Amino acid sequence: MSSYVFDINGLRVQATYGDRFVRERVRPLLRRWQEKQREGERLIIFLAAPPAAGKSTLAALFEHEAKMIGIPFQALGMDGFHHRQSYIETHTVMREGRHVLMKQVKGCPESFDFARLHAFVRRLRHEETMMWPWYDRQLHDVRDDWIKVTAPLVMIEGNYLLLDEEPWRSLRPLCDASLFLVADMSQLQERLVERKIRGGMMPHEALAFASGSDMQNAQRVLAHRLPADETIAQAEIEAR
């Protein structure tokens, strides 16, 4: 097992991955994508998973390993396509026939600016250099034009990239390869609570939010997802 420290949306996160997983899954996938990309324009990879499954750190691992073996590669998040906090605080979503404040369910599909995300992914295909937004977990808001995208291989990670609902399913044709990180529901709640606390919530607030909105989002992702080219299980990640 090897330990890594990544900067994930402004927070330092430590992650551990099995050496066998890196050797037998991560690096071969990177080399396969590189060969595929050599045939043409920028290659776009989707990495989807429920909230707190570890997709952001896994994307960071792919970026780290790509650098180690000399493959130009960038990992990007879809969290930068949240609606702005000012919008989220003044809008509602429908839940069980009633209006609920969007800020109470922030992180659900409706709290994202889907049209903007779709347009940016389309641009990725043809624009050699472009700017990508970033979500700052310390400010709890979006920063525009934060990441300069130049690599010929790009991985986008997010909860809803493979969501089998309208309008989200229209994203799937825009990628060249897709991964789904299989999550153990029994572990998700604990991770969700830890993440909310790191982001500034009090423990009781974090537990309430994670038990409600976040777990509902996780169940939604698992129950309504499009097939991925590759799936990765937690047992593989931990393989020594």
Q: What is the rounded CA–CA span in Å between residue 220 and residue 237?
A: 23
Ramachandran sector of residue 21 (left: φ over 0; alpha: ψ -120 to 50; beta: rest)? alpha
pLDDT tens for 206-234 read: 777 666 778 889 889 999 999 999 999 87
- CA 176 to chain CA centroid, nearest Å: 17
Of residues 76 and 38, the one with the higher pLDDT is: 76
pLDDT tens for 109-123 read: 999 999 999 999 999
Report the run of H or E that residue 99 belongs to, with start and end.
Answer: strand 98-101
Tell whether omega for the bond before 167 is within 30 degrees of 0, i.e. cis.
yes
Q: How many CB atoms lie within 10 A of CB 42?
A: 19
Which are the contacts of 145, defined by CB distance < 8 A and separation ≥ 6? 131, 132, 133
Class of CATH domain 2-237: alpha beta
Judge whether 84 and 133 are in contact, CB under 8 Å: no
The reported pTM is: 0.90
Judge whether 29 and 47 are in contact, CB under 8 Å: no
Ramachandran sector of residue 140 (left: φ over 0; alpha: ψ -120 to 50; beta: rest)? left
Place of tokens 């572990």: 187
Mean pLDDT of 49-60: 92
For the chain, what is the total number of helices (H) and then of strands (E)? Answer: 9, 11
Of residues 218 and 71, the one with the higher pLDDT is: 71
Domain boundaries, the chain: 2-237
- CA 30 to chain CA centroid, nearest Å: 18
Q: What percent of the chain has pLDDT over 70?
A: 95
Residue 73 has what DSSP assignment?
E
Q: What Rg, from alpha-carbon coordinates, does the chain have?
A: 17
Judge whether 137 and 10 are in contact, CB under 8 Å: yes
Judge whether 74 and 151 are in contact, CB under 8 Å: yes
pLDDT band at 28 (very low <50, low <70, confident <90, very high): very high
Q: What is the rounded CA–CA span in Å between residue 83 and residue 113?
A: 5
pLDDT band at 169 (very low <50, low <70, confident <90, very high): very high
